[in-house]
Amino acid sequence: MSQDKPPLDPHPLSEYVAWAGNRNREPLLGVLKEKLPKDPGNVLELASGSGMHINFFAPHFEHLHFHPSDKDQEVFDNIRKLSSDHKNDNIADPVHLDLTNPETWFNAGEPRIFAAIFCINIFQVAPISIADGMMKCASYLLDDDGFLLIYGPFQVEGTFTTDSNREFHETLSSAGVSEWGLKDIADLKKAAANHGLELKEQINMPANNFSLIFGRK
């Protein structure tokens, strides 16, 4: 694939999303190597999309069992294909999980089953309202010492940390889709607090992004 930046397209199977994923996967792997547990356990990815991230991470953690999920079942075949192509036998079959519908959260019958949950590059193309569902879901599914990692570009207390992030926000906003744009970390913290979680760590990442680590209070 060309290293040139493709036109903005948030569809999970687009060239743009693949390009962005190839840029951030190594730095994210570094964070996960530091944060994921050393003991066997389960890890959930929210909004797995094409499955590129979970299939890149899984071989580095053979003691963990990874669970892809997405609201859009259209992407499931691609996730399965990548898992098969890479012979990743520690990746479960993808499941339908809608953050706005608790009935899809593993049938809402198996609380505290995940050591970690991660979600990559979602909030800039999603309404901030899903933050409440994400935090509620994480609070329900994470074990006592588990964490939620959210990665992406964000505003910090109403300000842009770089000119490039401001420009990215303006590009997203110009698309005419009301929910597109950089959200504020402060709003994620508020949603977390409503469900017994708090921001434990804010990690600066390449390309002016953040890894936000949330855990129980």
At 97, the pLDDT band (50, 70, 90 cuts) reads: very high
Please list, in sequence order, all residues whose beta carbon lies within 8 angstroms of the beta carbon of residue 79, skipping any fewer than 6 positions away.
Answer: 48, 50, 51, 54, 55, 68, 70, 91, 94
Work out whether the CA dihedral 53, 25, 45, 161 comes out positive or negative.
Answer: negative
Can you give the pLDDT at residue 121? 93
- What are the residue boundaries of the structural domains of the chain, listed by start? 15-33+42-216
Model pLDDT, residue 108: 55
Q: Tens digits of per-residue pLDDT, 151-190?
A: 999 999 999 999 999 999 998 899 888 899 999 999 999 9
Residue range 118-163, pLDDT digits in tens: 999 999 999 999 999 999 999 999 999 999 999 999 999 999 999 9
Task: Report how far apart, in Å, the C-alpha atoms of 83 and of each of 4, 20, 186 are.
Answer: 27, 20, 36
Q: What is the pLDDT of residue 213?
A: 98
Higher pLDDT, 10 or 123: 123
The hierarchical CATH code for the domain 15-33+42-216 is 3.40.50.150
- Do the Cβ atoms of 121 and 98 come closer than 8 Å? no
> What confidence category does residue 194 fall into, taking pLDDT thresholds of 50, 70 and 90?
very high
The backbone torsions φ and ψ at residue 124, rounded to the nearest 5 degrees and listed phi first, read -70, -15
